[in-house]
Amino acid sequence: MNILQAVVEALESLSANKLRSGLTILGIVIGVAAVIAMLAVGHGAENTITGSISGIGTNLLFVFRGSIDDSVRNPEPLTLDDAQAIADPFAAPSVQAVAPILQDSAIVTAAGEQKTTTLIGATPAYFQVRNFRLHEGDALGEEHLLGRASVVVLGVDVADALFGRREGLVGEMVRIEGQPFRVIGVLEPKGGGSFGSEDDRVIIPLTTAQTRLIRRNPSNRVDIIMVQAVSADAVPQATEEVAQILRTRHRTPVGVDDFTIFTQQDFLDTAATITGVLTIFLGGIAAISLLVGGIGIMNIMLVSVTERTREIGLRKAVGARKRDILIQFLTESSLLSLFGGLIGILLGWLIATIVGRIAAASGTPFNPVVGIDAVLLATLFSTAVGLFFGIYPASRAANLEPVEALRYE
């Protein structure tokens, strides 16, 4: 029996029991669709997260107080003096800009509305290192920093919550923790980032934050120092220069740093690892439904062998070999899984598209990615499931004795 003849006979056999074949295929369809949709959601989440982090810039360093493993007790705080030392072009020639910041949560009110958001005390360099652009108005300037001005730049989420619009807000007054501030600008929307939503924040001059809203001990202490390298290629050199400056200033023992420096690549690697594990987890859960579909195929094929025992005996009596019977039943199980796989791919793509539309409608831009690797994996896996779960029924049919099969009632 050649392959073409086996396929034709398998199609005739499956079409003779359309309802049973359709229900068997449905199990594979659900399994493959779940695998495709879950992998698409996982890859989409990874692209969204890594894209948000990359959008900040590939030449950015984040300096935090304390060692990454908390091995240093009572680490020296980061200060404005540290930031000024890092900004010295002679000590750190690979550094382009430095932005020390203070960060806390705060309640912002205006026009009878209230919102709890992230409060950032920053210098004008903060807008450069974070690649922030203005939707309207101006960013913070040196005059605001020197004058401890009561001015604020709003993120678009805060503007929407307080005023219900993003335009025409320059000159409006808001209150931060009860203190009045004049709006001088509104940021362009950026979405999520490595420190939460980039749009859910308000930015005031660092000096104003130090004296009125975010008090630290000592008074010149800062929470994070953001450092922009001259280029992406200069990031390793800039990291070493910053580390050497802080080791000298903090007088730490050799090999013991009381600070931690993260680069954008560190965040990207961490995010990719987390989302990769999530994708594998989701795909594994979805694969269970595909396994259930395979068991359904085996069950139906066993029933088919029982129903067609006399047919098998007749075939063997007129000269069909054991191999011919084996190929016939394996072809039927493989076609069931292949048809289910193809329909499941289309259904999975449709589900992923719907998820993307729902996410976009809810204000969370998210694009599930149906990759060719997921399609090939689902197709090959579904076919393999059909073959694997069809082996036992096919072997059972092939091993039937012709005389006994003909006598079967």
Q: Tell me the pLDDT tens digit for each residue of 272-313.
A: 777 777 777 777 777 777 777 777 777 777 777 666 666 666
Q: How confident is the model at residue 151 (pLDDT cuts 50, 70, 90)?
A: very high
Confidence class for position 204, pLDDT limits 50, 70, 90: very high
- Asked if residue 402 lies in contact with residue 381, where contact means CB atoms within 8 angstroms, the answer is no
Distance of alpha carbon 34 from alpha carbon 23, whole angstroms: 17
The band of 27, judged by pLDDT with boundaries at 50, 70 and 90, is confident
Pairwise CA distance, residues 380 & 55, whole Å:
36
Residue 253 has pLDDT above 90, yes or no: no
Q: Is the model's pLDDT at 29 over the cut of 50? A: yes
Kindly state the tokens that stand for 168. Answer: 């025409």
Residue 212 has what pLDDT? 87
Q: Tell whether the model's pLDDT for residue 181 goes beyond 90.
A: yes
**What distance in Å separates the CA atoms of residue 60 and residue 199, rounded to the nearest whole number?**
19
Please give the pLDDT value at position 194. Answer: 44
Q: What is the pLDDT, as a whole number, of residue 44?
A: 78
Higher-pLDDT residue of 218 and 192 is 218
Q: Mean pLDDT across the stretch 332-343?
A: 81
- Assess whether pLDDT exceeds 60 at residue 408: no
- How many Cα atoms sit within 13 Å of 80 on the Cβ side? 12
For residue 153, the model assigns a pLDDT of 92
Q: Which residues of 288-324 are buried (b: 16+ CB within 10 A; e: fewer)?
A: ebbeebbebbbebbbebbeebbebbbebbeeebeeeb
Q: Which residue has the higher pLDDT, 393 or 213?
A: 213
The pLDDT of residue 397: 67
Say which DSSP state 210 is in. I
Confidence of residue 180 (pLDDT cuts 50, 70, 90): very high
Percent of the chain at pLDDT > 90 equals: 7
Q: What is the dihedral of CA 277, 281, 282, 283, to 10 degrees?
A: 100
Task: Of 24-28, 114-118, 209-213, give the lowest mean pLDDT range.
Answer: 24-28
**Residue 198 reports pLDDT greater than 70:** yes
More confident residue, 161 or 374: 161
Query: 71, exposed or middle or buried, with CB in 10 Å at 0-12, 13-18, 19+?
Result: exposed
Confidence of residue 175 (pLDDT cuts 50, 70, 90): very high
**How does pLDDT run across 343-398, given as a tens digit for each residue?**
888 888 888 888 888 877 776 666 777 777 777 777 777 777 767 777 766 676 66
pLDDT at 409 over 60: no
pTM (whole model) above 0.85: no
Task: Work out the mean pLDDT of the chain and round it to a whole number.
Answer: 79
